[in-house]
DNA sequence: ATATAGTTCAACCATTTGGTTGACAAATGA
DNA sequence: TCATTTGTCAACCAAATGGTTGAACTATAT
């Protein structure tokens, strides 16, 4: 593989990604981004003009990254029962590598609503094979007749929420760090079991 | 009832609660809190000394408010099957009235970890009647043998997450505002059904 | 070589922001 | 009544922060 040299712009963008995802728009400091990139603060403005523009690009990239990652899985050539555990595992693994990403996206989206994303096509979860499979089963009477969107939201909720709310849950339940891994491992089994059972037996 | 006069301190605290919950620690401005309280900015420092101290009090109050509200429900004299829909309804209703509260608590807890809460006793969800009932059923073989904490986390995840992630879900699924209420109403039925079925049939 | 365009940075600048001060009013109590 | 405490505010202040500038440096093309 070629040892491609990262351009200054790329270095800045990655540093911005890291700092914005960790601290949010209001909490992030241009100086901190410059420090993390190892360059002068003027460079940020030279390449991205303003904090707002830089944030906008970081935010759009983050949103796409989070929301688009599941589509390929939903379009695999597998049954819907096989896809549910895959999706659960995918989200739990994604949480492990980038725990700040979903929190960042959700959080900033309360303030920068459609504005920043007006040009970002809402990627069509509804047009995936997974969705079609669920509708098909419902029409054939083999799946409980509830809207498929409920299932998708449940999968995301059950996997993403516990990780972003980890400190709160730990404080509320006194769950130690050592037991946390076990707790997550359990969830990886429990969530698909529960969802599939609910959809198939009614 | 007595028309109690709110003290300046209380007025400030409520304004701070509102602004901090909406904007977070980094995003909140002392001037904005003063404006919302309708008093001079100096008053904030007169009564609370610094932004950090004011925030600390607001944060502790918010955390207690969120985490303690379910304990009474879990200790009601009802079967566990009856409590699950109650808990789901409780959380969904709480979300409706104070949509910013859980996001605020979860968000700020990533940065102000145990520090602020070291003196706040982690309220013992594990010591509720609800928990005892689940363990009891598990031991008797009438409930699927999974750790009760999984159920509690599922209830919170399934109810709280969709509401805090509403803008993101709406963008990802193109769900209109008019259909949102229906979506939430559906969840109020789906979540208890799913959890109870999973626990009882195995 | 040298002109041109792109890149980098130290030093500045204007505004915002948390926080302070001192004067003054309103209650409190002797 | 009058002295002391408590409450309120306009005007300031110092530090932080986003942003600008001008000069210097580098690479590339002619």
Strand C contacted by B56 CB (< 7 A): no
pLDDT for position B202 = 92
Domain shared by B157 and B190, yes or no: yes
The better pLDDT of the pair B113, A77 is held by A77
DSSP state at residue B125? G
Interface test with B, best of A125, A168, A175, A195 (most B CBs within 10 A): A168
pLDDT for position A3 = 38
CA distance linking residue B160 with residue B182, whole number of Å: 16
pLDDT for position A4 = 52
Domain shared by B142 and B78, yes or no: yes
Strand C contacted by B143 CB (< 7 A): no
Strand, helix or coil for residue B95: helix
Domain shared by A41 and A107, yes or no: no
Residue B197 pLDDT level (bands cut at 50, 70, 90): very high
Per residue in B18-47, pLDDT (tens digit) is 999 999 999 999 999 999 999 999 999 999
The answer to whether residue A108 sits within a structural domain is yes
pLDDT of A183 over the 60 cut = yes
DSSP string, chain A: ---PPPPHHHHHHHHHHHHHHHHHHHH--HHHHHHHHTS-HHHHHHHHSSHHHHHHHHHHHHHHHHHHTTHHHHTSSS-HHHHHHHHHHHHHHHHHH-THHHHHHHHHHTTS-SGGGTTS----GGGSHHHHHHHHHHHHTSS-SS-HHHHHHHHHHHHHHHHHTHHHHHHHH---HHHHHHHHHHHHHHHHHHHHHHHH--
- When divided into structural domains, chain A yields a total of 2
How far lies A73's CA from each of A44, A76, A84, A88, B85, in Å?
Answer: 36, 5, 9, 11, 32
Domain with residue A128: its CATH number is: 1.10.357
- Cβ(A153)–Cβ(B164) below 8 Å: no
Nearest CA-CA partner of B25 in B107, B115, B113, B120: B107
Q: Cite the beta strand spans of B44-159 per DSSP E.
A: none
Share the mean pLDDT of chain A: 92
Mean pLDDT of A73-93: 97
Strand C contacted by A40 CB (< 7 A): yes
pLDDT for position A113 = 60
CA distance linking residue B128 with residue B46, whole number of Å: 41
pLDDT for position A160 = 97
The better pLDDT of the pair B134, A3 is held by B134
Domain shared by B167 and B87, yes or no: yes
Share the mean pLDDT of chain B: 92
CA–C1' distance B9–D2 (Å)? 29
CA–C1' distance B53–C2 (Å)? 63
The better pLDDT of the pair A124, A166 is held by A166
CA distance linking residue B72 with residue B91, whole number of Å: 13
DSSP string, B12-38: HHHHHHHHHHHHHHHH--HHHHHHHHT
Percentage of residues in chain B having pLDDT higher than 70:
95
pLDDT of A85 over the 60 cut = yes
pLDDT for position B153 = 97
pLDDT for position B123 = 66
Nearest CA-CA partner of A183 in A163, A164, A156, A157: A163
Residue A177 pLDDT level (bands cut at 50, 70, 90): confident
Mean pLDDT of A71-77: 96
pLDDT for position A1 = 37
Mean pLDDT of B176-194: 94
A chain contacts of residue B71, beta-carbon cutoff 8 Å: none
pLDDT of B2 over the 50 cut = no
Which of A105-109, A114-118, B154-158 holds the top average pLDDT? B154-158
How far lies B20's CA from each of A154, A161, B24, B104, B163, in Å?
Answer: 29, 22, 5, 8, 19
Number of residues in chain B: 202
Chain D positions within 7 A of any protein Cβ atom are: 7-11, 17-22
Per residue in A142-166, pLDDT (tens digit) is 999 999 999 999 999 999 999 999 9
Domain with residue A9: its CATH number is: 1.10.10.60
Per residue in A20-38, pLDDT (tens digit) is 999 999 999 999 999 999 9
Q: Does B174 touch chain A (CB under 8 A)?
A: yes
The answer to whether residue A25 sits within a structural domain is yes
> Shortest Cα distance from B172 to chain A (angstroms)?
5
CA distance linking residue B130 with residue B74, whole number of Å: 5
CA–C1' distance B44–D9 (Å)? 12
Q: CB–CB of A174 and B126 under 8 A?
A: yes
| Burial of A154 from C-beta contacts in 10 A (0-12 / 13-18 / 19+) | buried
- What is the domain range of residue A135? 62-200
Domain shared by B41 and B68, yes or no: no
How far lies B39's CA from each of A50, B43, B44, B45, in Å?
Answer: 34, 7, 9, 12
- Cβ(B105)–Cβ(A168) below 8 Å: yes
Domain shared by A13 and A36, yes or no: yes
Domain shared by A33 and A68, yes or no: no
Domain shared by A186 and A105, yes or no: yes
Domain shared by B65 and B43, yes or no: no
């Amino acid at each position: 593989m070629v040892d491609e040299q990262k351009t200054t712009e790329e270095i800045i963008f990655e540093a911005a990604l890291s700092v914005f995802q960790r601290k949010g728009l209001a909490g992030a400091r241009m100086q901190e981004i410059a420090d993390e990139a190892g360059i002068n603060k003027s460079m940020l403005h030279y390449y991205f003009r303003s904090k707002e523009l830089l944030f906008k690009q970081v935010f759009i990239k983050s949103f796409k990254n989070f929301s688009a990652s599941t589509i390929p899985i939903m379009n695999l050539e597998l049954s819907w029962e096989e896809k549910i555990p895959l999706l659960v595992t995918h989200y739990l693994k994604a949480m492990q590598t980038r725990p700040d990403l979903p929190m960042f996206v959700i959080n900033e989206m309360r303030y920068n609503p459609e504005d920043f994303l007006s040009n970002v096509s809402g990627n069509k979860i509804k047009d995936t094979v997974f969705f079609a499979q669920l509708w098909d089963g419902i029409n054939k009477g083999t799946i409980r007749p509830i809207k498929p969107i409920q299932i998708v939201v449940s999968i995301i909720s059950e996997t993403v929420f516990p990780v972003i709310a980890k400190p709160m849950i730990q404080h509320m339940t006194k769950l130690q760090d050592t037991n946390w891994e076990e707790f997550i491992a359990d969830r990886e089994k429990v969530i698909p079991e529960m969802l599939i059972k609910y959809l198939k037996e009614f």
